[in-house]
């Protein structure tokens, strides 16, 4: 098959997913992409821009469209010419515009949320990266549609549910070196965007409790930072200066993986996350995860209690102290980590790409023949 991939926001998890799959796929891929900035403008102009770009590829014949949630697929179908407008289409929801937390408590722009809804209606198959994401989106979308002044389209949401499946992101090839986790002066990693929805304040508050209790640890804080960095980062850099091993973004993925392979504990404090690729990569690299019992994290480790804390600062600090001092607790955590590691190894792109290739082949069949999730 020849897949036409349309990605208006070619960066981060969007780029990693598309490149990881296409590089391991048996299908042929043509990728039309746009730079990963000015996301609102990307959502607005991408349908027209892609339609115009395809006008120069009149000889190309495609079998299926694969796009992300950043594209209004319905608008693109209306603008695209020739056979492209009639191609079967799969949309992948990395995130959505209904549930992203607003740091400034402004009124949400529901036009983008409605774009997501229209895209679902226009797609032949709808993939979400976790069950948590699927369930949260449908719950919030249903509540949103009920607020419309008239012509409520909630029934349309019921009709698309049969076209929905969970398709977790694939992972790169990461080798876990044979080494014990060090609980005396452990190397703790926090790896996320330096933004409010990753909840850095709670992470540093928990570390502050450890330091005041006299615990010894090394610290790496990595992840992309943007123009508006929360002030806690400059404060924490001074407060934990003697513990810091690595501070700031590592642009090389190989260097990032090498850091994970040398570290001991991976901590997340996120309040907004649809899958948790950084946590999954850390587990594969040998880090013992310490994750909040919310969002998609319980799916990632199958609800294994010794890898989850209740989400509060005190619970995180207590969980870390138990790993440092309670042999039985950390022994169970290590066993659960091994099981999770084995499970996540099955999500490597070299294995997962073939399964997703089959799903695309099925979606290209006549509607009556498409297997539903």
**What are the sequence ranges of the domains in the chain?**
2-170+349-369, 187-345
Confidence of residue 371 (pLDDT cuts 50, 70, 90): very low
Query: What pLDDT is stored for residue 56 in this prediction?
Result: 87
pLDDT band at 370 (very low <50, low <70, confident <90, very high): very low
Rounded to two decimals, the pTM is 0.92
Provide CB contacts within 8 A for 178, sequence distance 6+: none
- Fold of domain 187-345: Rossmann fold (3.40.50)
Phi, psi of 61 (to 5 degrees): -120, 120
Is pLDDT at 112 greater than 90 in this prediction?
yes
Q: What is the pLDDT of residues 116-139, one digit of tens each?
A: 999 999 999 999 999 999 999 999
| HEC profile of the chain | CEEEEEEEEECHHHHHHHHHHHHHCCCEEEEEEEECCCHHHHHHHHHHHHHHHHCCCCCCCCCEEEEECCCCHHHHHHHCCHHHHHCCEEEEECCCCCCCCCCCCCCCCHHHHHHHHHHHHHCCEEEECCHHHHHHHHHHHHHHHHCCCCCCCHHHHHHHHHHEEECCCCECCCCCCCCCCCCCCCEEEEECCCCHHHCHHHHHHHHHHHHHCCCCCEEEEECCCCCCCCCHHHHHHHHCCCCEEEECCCCCHHHHHHHHHHCCEEECCCCCCCCCHHHHHHHHHCCEEEEECCCCHHHHCCCCHHHEECCCHHHHHHHHHHHHHCHHHHHHHHHHHHHHHHHHHCCEHHHHHHHHHHHHHHHCCCHHHCCCC
CA distance 178 to 96: 39
Whole-number pLDDT of residue 368: 33
C-alpha span between 315 and 308 (Å, rounded)? 10
Does residue 304 carry a pLDDT above 80?
yes
Q: What is the pLDDT of residue 199?
A: 96
pLDDT reported for residue 362: 95
pLDDT band at 372 (very low <50, low <70, confident <90, very high): very low
pLDDT the model gives residue 102:
58
Average pLDDT taken over every residue of the chain: 93
Mean local confidence (pLDDT), 214-239: 94
187-345: same fold as 2-170+349-369?
yes
Examine the pLDDT at 261 and tell me if it is beyond 60.
yes
Residue 219 has pLDDT above 50, yes or no: yes
Write the burial class of residue 321 (CB in 10 Å: 0-12 exposed, 13-18 middle, 19+ buried): middle
pLDDT at 128: 98
pLDDT in tens, 240-249: 999 999 999 9
pLDDT band at 227 (very low <50, low <70, confident <90, very high): confident
**CA torsion sign, 138 to 140 to 143 to 145?**
negative
Q: Is the pLDDT of residue 315 over 90?
A: yes
350-356's contacts with Cβ under 8 Å and 24+ in sequence apart are: 350/24, 350/173, 352/21, 352/168, 352/170, 352/171, 353/20, 353/21, 353/24, 353/25, 353/26, 353/170, 354/24, 354/26, 356/21, 356/25, 356/167, 356/170
**What's the confidence (pLDDT) of residue 104?**
44
Render the burial of 334-369: b for 16+ CB within 10 Å, e for the rest: bebbeebbeebeeebbeebbeebbebbeebbeeeee
Q: If one looks up domain 2-170+349-369 in CATH, what number appears? A: 3.40.50.2000
Is 369's pLDDT higher than 60? Answer: no
Q: Tell me, what's the pLDDT at 179?
A: 85
């Amino acid at each position: 098959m020849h897949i036409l991939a349309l990605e208006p926001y070619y960066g981060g998890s969007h780029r990693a997913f598309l490149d990881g799959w296409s590089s391991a796929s048996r299908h042929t891929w043509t990728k039309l992409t746009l730079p990963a900035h000015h996301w609102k403008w990307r959502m607005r102009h991408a349908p027209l821009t892609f339609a115009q770009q395809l006008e120069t590829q009149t000889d190309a014949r495609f079998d299926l469209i694969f796009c992300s949630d950043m594209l209004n697929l319905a608008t693109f179908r209306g603008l695209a010419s020739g056979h492209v407008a009639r191609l079967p289409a799969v949309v992948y929801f990395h995130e959505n515009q209904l549930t992203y937390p607003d740091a400034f408590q402004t009124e949400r722009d529901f036009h983008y949320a409605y774009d997501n809804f229209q895209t679902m209606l226009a797609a032949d198959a709808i993939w979400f990266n976790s069950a948590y994401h699927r369930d949260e989106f449908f719950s919030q979308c249903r509540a949103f549609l009920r607020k419309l002044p008239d012509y409520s389209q909630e029934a349309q949401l019921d009709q698309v549910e049969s076209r929905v499946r969970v398709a977790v992101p694939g992972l790169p090839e990461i080798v876990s070196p044979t080494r014990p986790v060090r609980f005396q002066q452990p190397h703790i990693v926090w790896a996320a965007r330096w933004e409010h929805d990753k909840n850095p304040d709670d992470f540093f508050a928990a570390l502050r409790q450890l330091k005041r209790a006299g615990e010894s640890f090394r610290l790496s804080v990595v992840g992309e930072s943007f123009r508006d960095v929360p002030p806690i980062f400059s404060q924490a850099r001074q407060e934990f200066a003697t513990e810091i091993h690595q501070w700031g973004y590592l642009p090389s993925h190989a260097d990032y993986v090498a850091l994970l392979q040398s570290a001991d504990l991976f901590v997340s404090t996120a309040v907004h996350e649809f899958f948790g690729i950084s946590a999954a990569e850390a587990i594969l690299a040998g880090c013992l995860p310490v994750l909040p019992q919310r969002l998609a994290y319980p799916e990632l480790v199958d609800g294994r209690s010794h890898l989850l804390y209740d989400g509060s600062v005190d619970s995180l600090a207590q969980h870390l102290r138990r790993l440092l001092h309670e042999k039985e607790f950390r022994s169970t955590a290590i066993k659960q980590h091994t099981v999770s590691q084995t499970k996540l190894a099955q999500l490597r792109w070299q294995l997962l790409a073939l399964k997703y290739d089959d799903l695309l082949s099925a979606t290209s069949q006549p509607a009556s023949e498409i297997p539903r999730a």
